[in-house]
A = this chain, B = another copy of it.
Amino acid sequence: MSTEPFTFDQPCPIRDVLDRIGDQWSLLVLEALAEKTLRFNELMREIGDVSKQMLSKTLKRLEQDGLVLRTLYPEVPPRVEYALTDLGRSIMEPLAVLIEWADANHRAIVESRRRVSPPHP
């Protein structure tokens, strides 16, 4: 299949990518930053229910993977801005296709789920 070949150091690309965007918060962060550059606390407010710790971890991984650029302005109080890189912007296209599918088919999934295990018998 298209995910092969891969080595141990460089695992199957798609599993690696899904590990990133498949977690609780990465997609939300990417979506927020796709709209515009945001500061740490702005991101927190934008996403709403993410904890500092998780947002911090998520941003760090996205930065390490080169999807997000972190810029520190050594002012007082310090200002830190997060923006998508070119790579980060480029992943939004495949994600948009997936989001489109999700929007179109979510109803079918929910109904299938309900059919199998009805609400309250």
| A interface with B by C-beta (< 8 Å) | 1-3, 9-10, 13-18, 21-23, 27-28, 31, 35, 63-67, 87, 90-91, 93-103, 105-113, 116-117
B87, A105: Cβ atoms under 8 Å?
yes
Minimal Cβ-Cβ distance residue in B for A23 = B22
Q: Known contacts A1-B31, A106-B13; is A64 also within 8 Å of B101 by CB? A: no
B17, A98: Cβ atoms under 8 Å?
yes
Bound form: Cα–Cα A32–B64 in Å: 31
Q: How far is the CB of A69 from chain B (nearest CB, A)?
A: 11
7 A-B residue pairs with Cβ-Cβ distance under 8 Å, sorted by A, are A1-B31, A10-B110, A13-B99, A18-B21, A22-B22, A65-B112, A94-B101
